[in-house]
Amino acid sequence: MRPPLVRVLRRLGREGLVDLEAVSGLLAVGDQGERHSAPWFVRLLVGFGAWVASGFLVAFLFMVDLVPEDLGAALFGAFVLAGAGALRRSPAAEGSDFLQQSALAGWLVGQLMVVFGMAEGTDSPPVTAGVVLLVQVASMAFFADAVARFLASGFAVASVLALMLHWKVPQGDEVAFLLSALGAGLIWWHRPALLAGRFPQAVNPVGYGLVFSALALLALALADPLEQHPSGILASTALSAGVLLMAWCLLGERRRSGPGLAVLGLVLLLGLATSSAPGVMAAVGTLVLGFRAGERGLLALAWSFLLFFLAAFYYNLEVPLLEKSGLLLASGALLLGLRALLRRCG
């Protein structure tokens, strides 16, 4: 729920930042901008449609032998990406959903061409992953489409994961998770400043993309398809430190009061208790960021992920059932106990 734009504009007028006489005109401009944003399910429909369309288009290109081989395909893909980017930014696309969807589908086709071409041409996973990562960073910054930016952040995280696994970085999947979690945390924490910066339209989609990717990586680490046997300790420690830092900043002057110390103590103890279940602290961190930013989507994502994580954690064989039971019961009791204590303290 946001305040009305007219109130914000009149407040700016009283502070001398805008002309009060111009408020009506500015309201109309802002209204137009707000109307262009779409609910999540419309974006989901658009994104899914773009994927399906790009699948057909890629199949067509291969059937008519229009795609060169090896590095030629990557170069072809780069041209397609540039063309899609130019189309998306063109004035004609602003008022045309068809052109916007075509640009998005073209972007996906270009991505597939680049990945395919680099993989075939160089036969070098780190080079391929590095190029893909660069393409995603450029897309996040310059491709003016929220769905594309969301997907680009996910592809970027996947590239980082591929690099970690190729270089056999110890606990590579956890490191990739932490990098994406760090990125997400920085974006959501500094969102107002970033929105006033150079790439404001990229902030929300990339922020959501990084959170989604980070949580997906954590879920993947739990499933452990590549048999990396992650312990979760690294992720839990870093997440606990992150949540503790956020709590420290949020408490401000109250951090030395009784309730403040209780909250800091709770975060520390919860982090210790759930050291082998990093999903709990990941969900807590997402909840704090989401509430601070006023983003219901983040709150919903956090709760959905937590339910999924607990179900997957139950079936995970790395931790014995009795230990799982102990840590979950202890954590639950800790949280409920603190709630009772804080209520008593008023």
Partner 1 sequence: MFPGSKDHVVRGAMMEEEPEYDASQSREADLVPATPEAILALRGHAGVSPEAVRRALELALPTPGPEAWTHFLDRTLLFLGGLLATSGVVCFFAFNWQALGRLARLGLVEAVVVLAALGAWRLGPERLAGQVLLTVAAVLVGPLLGVYGQIYQTGADAWNLFLAWGLLIVPWVLVGRNPVLWLLLLGLGNLTAWLAWGQLAGPDPWDSTSFYLWMCSTNSLAWGAWEFFRRRNPGPLTSSWVSRALAALCLFYAAVPSWMALLESRFEGPWLGPVFLAALLVAIFRLLRPRDPDLFLPAAGLAAAISVVTVAASRILLEESEAEEAGILLMGVLVLAQVAGAAAWLRRAGRSS
HSE at residue 251, side-chain half, CA atoms within 13 A, is 19
Query: Smallest distance from the beta carbon of 166 to partner 1, in angstroms?
Result: 34
CB of 178 or CB of 263, closer to partner 1: 263
Query: Smallest distance from the beta carbon of 137 to partner 1, in angstroms?
Result: 21
CB of 124 or CB of 257, closer to partner 1: 257
**C-alpha pair distances (Å), 320 with each of 8, 116, 249, 279:** 55, 42, 36, 17
- How open is the CA angle 250-238-152, to the nearest 5 degrees? 90
CB of 29 or CB of 86, closer to partner 1: 29
Element (H, E) at 32: helix 23-35
Query: Smallest distance from the beta carbon of 345 to partner 1, in angstroms?
Result: 11
3-state secondary structure of 19: coil
Query: Smallest distance from the beta carbon of 128 to partner 1, in angstroms?
Result: 26
CB of 57 or CB of 75, closer to partner 1: 57
CB of 268 or CB of 342, closer to partner 1: 342
Query: Smallest distance from the beta carbon of 122 to partner 1, in angstroms?
Result: 29
User: Contact 74/62 with Cβ under 8 angstroms?
Assistant: no
**C-alpha pair distances (Å), 257 with each of 245, 246, 271:** 17, 17, 21
How far is residue 40's CA from residue 301's CA, in Å, rounded to a whole number?
12
Query: Smallest distance from the beta carbon of 325 to partner 1, in angstroms?
Result: 4
- How open is the CA angle 18-21-23, to the nearest 5 degrees? 65
CB of 178 or CB of 302, closer to partner 1: 302
